[in-house]
Amino acid sequence: MTTLIKDTAAHIAGLMAIDKSALPADGGQRFNRLIFARSPYLLQHAENPVDWYEWGQDAFDRAQAENLPILLSIGYATCHWCHVMAHESFEDDQVAALLNRHFVCIKVDREERPDIDDFYMTVSQLMTGSGGWPLNIFMASDRRPFMAITYLPKQGRSGMNGLMELLANIATLWRQRPDMIENNCRSIMEELARLRQEERSEINIEFTETSTKAFNQLSKIYDAKHGGFGSAPKFPMPIYLGWLIAQGHQGNAEALEMALHTLRRIRNGGIWDQLAGGVHRYSVDQRWLAPHFEKMLYDQAMLALVAIDTFQATGDPFFSGMAAGIFEFAERELHSGDGGFCSALDADSEGVEGRFYVWDKQEIDQCLGPDSEIFCRYFDISSNGNFEGMNIPNIALELEEFCRVNGTDTAETGRLLERGIGILMQQRAQRIRPLRDDKIIAAWNGLMIAALSRGGIVCGKPDYLEQAAGAARFIMKSLRRHDGRLLRCWMNGASETPAFLEDYAFMAFGLLELYEATLETSWLDQASSLAGQIITLFCDPHTGEFVLTGLDAEQMPARASSDHDGVTPSALAVTARVLLRLAWTCDRPELIEHARKALSGIAAELERNPLGHLGALSALSELDSSPVIATLSGPAGSPEATALLRALKEHHIARLAIRLESSPAAPGVSICTDQTCFAKAATPDELKNVLRQIGGLFEPRTVLRAEK
């Protein structure tokens, strides 16, 4: 068995630096074929005794030639249970011998190839009713699956088979009962085809009724005590929160309060890194104390967008501060240095989940001296600990309430806490850091570009806009093929994997937000160019159906899944909203029909399960509604024009589209909606008066004060 590697980041960096030109194609005695990969996840397995292949024809040809089943194992670099299964099984000589004798083994990084992951995750959910990572699929050489499992220990426990028994049984079945294997393959493919036929339908949804159904579903699973939805494990669910904020903008005070309470509990809980900022993946308990410690770029971007929207809705600096904490963390720990943002930080370091983030009180006492008593009281740190004998910093009382209860001065206590955080950050920096997955993924960077752009204009932070522009320039320059096609990711160079619909849609979304924050038309032009490629590459010319994988790219054995909101928004829903915004901004009404086609691909499922399609529900609300067209005239970039833009973006305005009309005249904003145009506003106050007239200026602070 391989020795446990304590500093994974340093080890992976060492593997990347090896001169591989002299190595044989199979990796030689020390390595397997994954030593030639660029994905950090695949490199984590390059020294396994398992004879791993990357996904490709070589593996399929060998399986066919030798009549062997395939084990396809899918995971990602910062996945805790992927690490556990790797150490228990894939680093084990006994398991490797069994796999190498009876199987062809393929490793896939799900973040590099979401199409492979999406197809086989759908298979897992069909076969077992659940899914997760590591995802292990047994399949024939033609890529048709016949069995799916997630994590499995090497040896059986509590009467259940372990991996060794399962592998032996599958090898025997493959040799002795090929008819059973073929029947499994055929029945799974038939079920996938049946599901596919049910998916597409015309849009015929009663919007108000469906929205009410979605809100009622959320209300039933809402945790009024701790915030959030459902029980443990509890995810932040920014898509739910963003939709509730939008409902609040429409006057639903209960929806707004659900979102506000949840965000406050997340920000004060252990799921939030109270020292460095940023949010961990999810909480393993109901009260947001003990997280699963990995930090994903998309979680940061999505929660930052919600925090900014909440700041627009309330004017409460708590939420702009929450977004700032995310942006500061992302710049410090996820920024690549080349402009783009890296994918994630691992949950594990030194082979232990969370070791980098948890504290012993004695260590804090030694670091902080006399300040430790107040610091530990505020952050719930004790000698007994609050997590497996250690401490996860979290906040029970807001600072003002804490100072009132403890009889301390608010300003002085605030300075003490900030001083303590700085000292502990320095102390923590001496620990072995979790692995950073350095993949720069187009889709996730698009979300962060959108968040930084919106945060930059709403909060008046030019440095956010500079970061957004830097990431946009990197993606649009470095992740492009010679013919202009977008690529999926950067891993010490651009990958050869063509970008998927989510990459195009999320990047176009980010570029539109950047245009609206800066009024630089080059960003609008690039968003429009990506939209054109979406229609060319992802819209089937025969059916009008939008697909998640480009028509020019490798196809899975079947189009397995409908698109839905997950940890990131539905790619089809974002596509529809991008096309609508471009139709309004660029006066291109033909794009509205394409937006309608994108939504028709998920219309039936939206009606059955609106909670899984809140992004599509939001897009649907915009589809047949009149936009608010704001035309900014006058010299671009002047202080007056910037002030008007800030006034326009300071508050949430549904269906807003910003057009430019460059002229030497004094800056002004003309608002048109519902076939009515209003007099040009020359000042921010005049603009706000116009927005009040059209109901485009939502001021919930009045509503909240009245309710109190």
Task: Tokens 């309608």: give the residue.
Answer: 596
pLDDT of residue 562: 63
**112 and 92 share one domain:** yes
**574 and 609 share one domain:** yes
For residue 486, the 8-state DSSP code is B
Task: Return the amino acid letter for 108.
Answer: V
Taking the C-alpha atoms of residue 502 and residue 113, their distance in angstroms, rounded to an integer, is 12
pLDDT of residue 4: 58
pLDDT of residue 707: 36
Residue 552 has pLDDT above 50, yes or no: yes
Average pLDDT over residues 127-142: 94
pLDDT of residue 706: 33
More confident of the two residues 205 and 705: 205
167-181, 310-324, 501-515, 623-637: least confident range:
623-637
175-184, 314-323, 627-636: least confident range:
627-636
6-10, 201-205, 437-441, 549-553: least confident range:
201-205
571-629 per-position pLDDT tens digit: 999 999 999 999 999 999 999 999 999 998 788 888 889 999 999 999 999 988 899 99
pLDDT of residue 701: 47
Q: Which of 580, 570, 654 is nearest to 614 (CA)?
A: 570
**691 and 642 share one domain:** yes
Place 697 in a pLDDT band, splitting at 50, 70 and 90.
low
332-367 per-position pLDDT tens digit: 999 999 999 999 999 999 889 999 999 999 999 999
Taking the C-alpha atoms of residue 591 and residue 257, their distance in angstroms, rounded to an integer, is 36
pLDDT of residue 298: 98
Last residue of a domain, one of 199, 232, 265: 199
pLDDT of residue 156: 84
Structure tokens of 636? 């671009």
Residue 695 has pLDDT above 90, yes or no: no
pLDDT of residue 202: 61
Give DSSP secondary structure letters for 688-706: HHHHHHTT----HHHHHHH
**179 and 288 share one domain:** no
Place 702 in a pLDDT band, splitting at 50, 70 and 90.
very low
**599 and 570 share one domain:** yes
Average pLDDT over residues 668-673: 94
More confident of the two residues 119 and 624: 119
Structure tokens of 326? 């995310």
| Contact between residue 467 and residue 459 where contact means Cβ atoms under 8 Å apart | no
Cβ neighbours of 382 (radius 10 Å): 10
Residue 639 has pLDDT above 90, yes or no: no
**Threshold 0.75, pTM exceeds:** yes
Structure tokens of 250? 């429409």
Place 200 in a pLDDT band, splitting at 50, 70 and 90.
low
Residue 497 in any domain: the answer is yes
Residue 418 in any domain: the answer is yes
Taking the C-alpha atoms of residue 646 and residue 650, their distance in angstroms, rounded to an integer, is 6
Average pLDDT over residues 319-340: 97
Q: Which of 139, 146, 140 is nearest to 184 (CA)?
A: 146
**514 and 571 share one domain:** yes
Residue 206 has pLDDT above 90, yes or no: no
**591 and 659 share one domain:** no
State the pairing for strand pair 436-437/440-441.
Answer: unpaired
pLDDT of residue 449: 99
pLDDT of residue 201: 56
Domain containing 652 equals 628-707
**553 and 702 share one domain:** no
**67 and 102 share one domain:** yes
More confident of the two residues 588 and 131: 588
**What 3-state DSSP class applies to 619?**
helix
230-239, 355-364, 446-455, 641-650: least confident range:
641-650
418-451 per-position pLDDT tens digit: 999 999 999 999 999 999 999 999 999 999 999 9
pLDDT of residue 199: 56
Element (H, E) at 95: helix 93-102
Residue 651 in any domain: the answer is yes
Residue 5 has pLDDT above 70, yes or no: no
The rounded mean pLDDT for the chain is: 93
pLDDT of residue 605: 85
Burial class of 702 by CB neighbour count within 10 A (0 to 12, 13 to 18, 19+):
exposed
Residue 3 in any domain: the answer is no
Residue 483 in any domain: the answer is yes
Residue 474's contacts (CB-CB under 8 Å, 6 or more residues apart) are 336, 338, 339, 340, 440, 445
Average pLDDT over residues 172-179: 96
Residue 560 has pLDDT above 70, yes or no: no
Residue 229 has pLDDT above 80, yes or no: yes
Give DSSP secondary structure letters for 245-299: HHHHHTT-HHHHHHHHHHHHHHHHSTTB-TTT--B-SEESSTTS-SEE--EEHHH
**563 and 415 share one domain:** no
Backbone angles phi, psi at 160, to 5 degrees: -100, 145
**85 and 124 share one domain:** yes
pLDDT of residue 543: 84
pLDDT of residue 637: 76
502-516 per-position pLDDT tens digit: 999 999 999 999 999
pLDDT of residue 10: 85
**Which CATH number belongs to the domain containing residue 679 in this structure?**
3.40.30
Task: Return the amino acid letter for 600.
Answer: S
**Which CATH number belongs to the domain containing residue 79 in this structure?**
3.40.30.10
**662 and 610 share one domain:** no
Backbone angles phi, psi at 310, to 5 degrees: -70, -40
Place 696 in a pLDDT band, splitting at 50, 70 and 90.
low
Residue 464 has pLDDT above 60, yes or no: yes
Phi/psi class of residue 521: alpha, beta or left (left: φ > 0; alpha: ψ in -120 to 50)?
Answer: alpha
Residue 703 has pLDDT above 80, yes or no: no
Last residue of a domain, one of 169, 199, 229: 199
Residue 2 in any domain: the answer is no
Residue 1 in any domain: the answer is no
Domain tally, the chain: 4
Last residue of a domain, one of 430, 454, 470: 430
pLDDT of residue 161: 83
379-416 per-position pLDDT tens digit: 999 999 999 999 999 999 999 999 999 999 999 999 99
Place 666 in a pLDDT band, splitting at 50, 70 and 90.
confident
**What 3-state DSSP class applies to 104?**
strand
